[in-house]
Amino acid sequence: MLRSLTVAAALVPAIALTGPAAGAAPKPQLDIQRSQTHQTIDGFGYSTAFQRATLVHNLSPAKQAEVLDLLLDRRKGAAPSILRLGIGSSATNVYDSMLSIQPADPGGPDAPPKYTWDGWDGGQVWFSKEARRRGVERFYADAWSAPGYMKTNGTDINGGSLCGLQGATCAGGDWRAAYARYLVQYAKFYEREGIRISDLAFLNEPDWTTGYASMRFTPAQAAEFVKVLGPYADQAGLNVVCCESIGWKNSEAYAQAIENDPEAREHLDIMSGHGYASGADFPLPTSKRTWMSEWAPSSVADGWNEAWDSSTDSDTDSGTDSGKVTDGINVAERIHDTLALSGSTAFVYWLGGSRGKTAALIQIDDAADAYRVSSRLYAFAAYSRFIRPGAVRLGVDGAAGGLKVSAYRNTDGTEVVELLNTSTEPVTTTVDLKRPDAYLTDSGHNLERDQSLVSRRGPHTSVTLAPRSLTTLVSDHPQHD
C-alpha cells in the first residue's frame, strides 16, 4: 500500500535524519541540537507470553536469581521499563499456549461470565512481581486471540474473526462487548495481585494467520472494536493499544482507519505495530504515540547465536562484511532506526528468555538448570539502562559515514548519546557532552565502562569509536547549551 505522506507530515513532527550518507566521511564534530526535540520515550521492554516466564521460575534458586538480574536489573541486566504480558485464550494449559480466564462458553455473550483465575497465568504473575520489585512500573497486556467460542472458526488458533464485527456474523451471537469485558477483567485480576496493568491491546498480528493463537481483523474492524472496548477501558483506567500489525508498513492502513474515525481516534491511546514484514523506519500517519511493540530477528537460519558481530570474511567486492541477522550489532541498529526514523516512543523486543534455537535475549534450559546470554541483551540494555521513561529525543548534527547517532535528555537533565559505528574502521569524532561516562559494546565488551575512549578537547569531548561497535555516552550531570 502507498504511504500517506500528506497525512503523516501533518500529524507527526519531522524526524531529523541521523543515519549515514552513503560513502561520506565522518565529520570531526557531532553537535547535539538541544532546542530540537522529538518524541518522548515511554520505554523499552520485552514479552513473557506463552509461558516463557515458567522457564525462569523452574531454575534452581541460585540460577533463577542470576537470570532475574540479567533480565531485569538496572545496573547489570536488560533494565526493561515495560513488560508485555500475553492474555490467554486457550482452554488448555500447556507450554506454548496461554490459558483463558474463561475457558468454556458461559452460555452465550449475554450470559453471566464464568471467569477463573489461578494467580499464576503461565508464570507471568510471578515474573511481574519480580519485575516490579526491580523498578518496572509499566505492564502492557495483549491478547493474541479471543477464546474460540467467541470466533467465527470456533477455535483460538488459525485466524478466524470475532463474532459480531462487520462481516463476521455467527449463530452464537455478537461477542464484541463480552470480549471487551473479558479483556478488562484480565487487568482486574492482575490488580488483585498488586500489579497495575496500564496498557491493553485486543489483538496481535491481525493480518497474519498461524497455527497458534491468532485472530484476523481488517483495519475497519479494528477501528470498530476500538469504539467498543474504549468505554470499558476508560472506566477501568486503561490505555487502549492497537493494532500490532505484522509489519510497520502494514500498520499504515490500521493507523489511517482509526485516524479517519473520530470516535475510534478518541478512544485510542497508542498506535502499535510489529517489525517483521517491514521495519519501523518511518512515522505512521497517526496523531497518537506509536510503539514498535514486537520484533526479533529470525533464528531459523542462525539457531542460537551469542555473537555481537559474527562477520569473519570481508566481501572484497562490496566492501561489506557478512554476518547473522541475530547478531547483537544488528539488534542495536534496529533499535536506533526505530527510535530515530519512525519516532516510536517505545521499543518492545519479542522474548526476554526462551529455550532452544531462539533469538531471545537469554536461552534457558530449565531441565539442565542452565542458561546462556546473547549479545542481543547488551545491545538492548545499552539503550534501556540509560534512556529512561520520559526522556526526550534530541536532534543531532554531523553524523555521517558509518555512524548512526541519537541523543536523549532524561527527566533529571542528564543526557545520553548512542554512537553506533557500523563501519569496519575506527572513527574519532567529538561530541558536545561534558565529562561523560563511556560504555562500550562490541565483540569483546558487554556494555562495559571504558573511560579510555573519551578525552576533553575544548567544549567538546573527543571519543574514539571502535569498529563495529556501540558506544554509549552518559553525562554525569545535567547539560546546558
H runs (alpha helix) in 314-374: 328-342
pLDDT at residue 457 in the model: 66
Residue that the C-alpha cell 555516552 belongs to: 473
Q: Are strands 138-143 and 370-373 parallel, antiparallel or unpaired?
A: unpaired
Q: Does residue 319 register a pLDDT over 50?
A: no
* pLDDT score of 17 more than 50: no
What is the value of pTM for the model shown?
0.92
How much is the average pLDDT of 54-58? Answer: 98
Q: What is the CATH number of domain 42-386?
A: 3.20.20.80
pLDDT at 479: 58
Say which CATH architecture domain 5-38+394-475 belongs to: Sandwich (2.60)
> CB-hemisphere CA count at 13 Å for 122?
23
**Per-residue pLDDT at 318:** 34
Confidence (pLDDT) at 358: 98
Question: Which of 236, 345, 360, 240 is closest to 296 using CA atoms?
Answer: 360
Confidence of residue 398 (pLDDT cuts 50, 70, 90): confident
Query: Is residue 22 predicted with pLDDT exceeding 50?
Result: no
Q: How confident is the model at residue 2 (pLDDT cuts 50, 70, 90)?
A: very low
Is residue 72 scored above 70 in pLDDT? yes
pLDDT category of residue 273 using cuts at 50, 70 and 90: very high
How far apart (Å, rounded) are the C-alpha atoms in residues 235 and 383?
34
Which pLDDT value is given to residue 314? 41
pLDDT for 460 equals: 86
- Percentage of the chain lying above the pLDDT 90 cut: 87
Within 13 Å and on the Cβ side, how many CA atoms surround 439? 20
Single-letter code of the amino acid located at 421: N
CA distance 184 to 191: 11
The residue written with cell numbers 531485569 in the block is: 72
Q: Do residues 181 and 232 lie in contact, with contact meaning Cβ atoms separated by under 8 Å?
A: yes
Give me the mean pLDDT over the 252-266 stretch.
98
Angle at 69 between CA 66 and CA 74, to 5 degrees: 160
pLDDT (0 to 100) of residue 400? 79
**Cα 334 from Cα 379, distance rounded (Å):** 10
What number of CA atoms fall less than 13 Å from residue 101's CA on the CB side? Answer: 21
Q: Are 250 and 243 in contact, with CB atoms under 8 Å apart? A: no
pLDDT band with cut points at 50, 70 and 90 for residue 459: confident
Q: What residue spans define the domains of the chain?
A: 5-38+394-475, 42-386
- Reply yes or no on whether the pLDDT at 156 is more than 90: yes
| Rounded Cα gap, residues 210 and 250, in angstroms | 17
What is the average pLDDT across 145-165?
Answer: 98
If phi > 0 it is left, if psi is from -120 to 50 it is alpha, else beta; for residue 293 that is alpha
Mean pLDDT of 50-70: 98
CA distance 77 to 212: 31
Q: What is the pLDDT of residues 101-125, one digit of tens each?
A: 999 999 999 999 999 999 999 999 9
Q: Which residues contact 404 (CB under 8 A, 6 or more apart)?
A: 18, 19, 20, 333, 336, 337, 340, 419, 420, 422
DSSP states along 430-461: EES-SSEEEEEEETTEEEEE-GGGEEEETTEE
The whole-chain average pLDDT of the chain stands at 92
* 393 three-class SS: strand
